[in-house]
Chains A and B, each alone.
Chain A
Amino acid sequence: MKHLSDIEIIDSVLQGNANDYSLLISRYKHKAFSLLKRMLKNELDAEEVLQDCFVKAFFALKSFKREAKFSTWFYRIVYNSGVTKLSGKRRKIEQEMLSIDNEDNPLTLSVPEKEFTQEKNELLNLAIQELPENYSVVITLFYLESMSCEEISKIINTSVNNVKVLLHRSRTALKEIISQKHLEKELL
């Protein structure tokens, strides 16, 4: 079966073959889900936002300007939807925290000790989830999506230099988390 480019799929969808949109979903669902799960740190929220992103992108396909790659355009939708969801979650948490005394909450991996024997990839995901949201976004787009710093800068709306700074800081922070959690032996 011929491999269709993103643009060819979009053209087909816009010509009335709406079912072809499932090809784009299949192509991007895992990576977009990975990004959202790392941003939202919750599987159900990530799934809900992911569905929403594909629906939004479907209805906005006509407005997609082909100057940028579809992936860049789509990940902007994903990133912005993730940020919107996060701000809603933060508001909710702030309201809940009003009635709770602040406590020191040291950085911890929220898994029981026994799960530390899980596969390397799962341990890495857990460590990445401890990163601040902007760090995990940059690390995910750069490494999982193989995006350049320039593409990432367009998605998160910042300068290329700032993306590089975020990338450096996120690697440094990840190294510290791995060290704090004594995961060097398992991961490095």
Chain B
Amino acid sequence: MKHLTIDELNRLVDNELSQQEKIVVEQHLSECSFCSDESKSFKSINSLLIEQHEEKAPDGIEILIM
């Protein structure tokens, strides 16, 4: 079985697949546990990155600059 490409998995996460591609990809995911796991993994990375927090700049930087 031919697995999904990294590009397809990424575009799936970004919701950039065409309707036709989406149907093919979802069909494949329902039949291939390897790609299904890969897809979950990419979605988790995406969620993790969405939830991340910014780092705090050191206190008092305004005073140093102004």
Contacts and interface: CB of A to CB of B under 8 A. Distances in A.
Interface of A: 18-19, 21-22, 25-26, 29-34, 37, 43, 47, 50-51, 54-55, 58, 120-121, 124-125, 139, 143-144, 164, 167-168, 171-172, 174-175, 178, 184, 187-188
A25 B65 CA distance: 9
Given A174-B45, A175-B42, A25 B62 contact: yes
B24 interface: no
Nearest to B11: A168
A30 B56 contact: yes
Interface of A (DSSP majority class): helix
B52 A47 contact: no
Which of B13, B52, B55, B66 is most buried by chain A, counting CB atoms within 10 A of its CB? B55
A168 B7 contact: yes
Nearest to B65: A54
Contacts of B58: 33, 43, 47
Interface residues of B, number: 26
A51 B52 contact: no
Contacts of B65: 22, 25, 51, 54-55, 58
Given A25-B62, A54-B65, A168 B56 contact: no
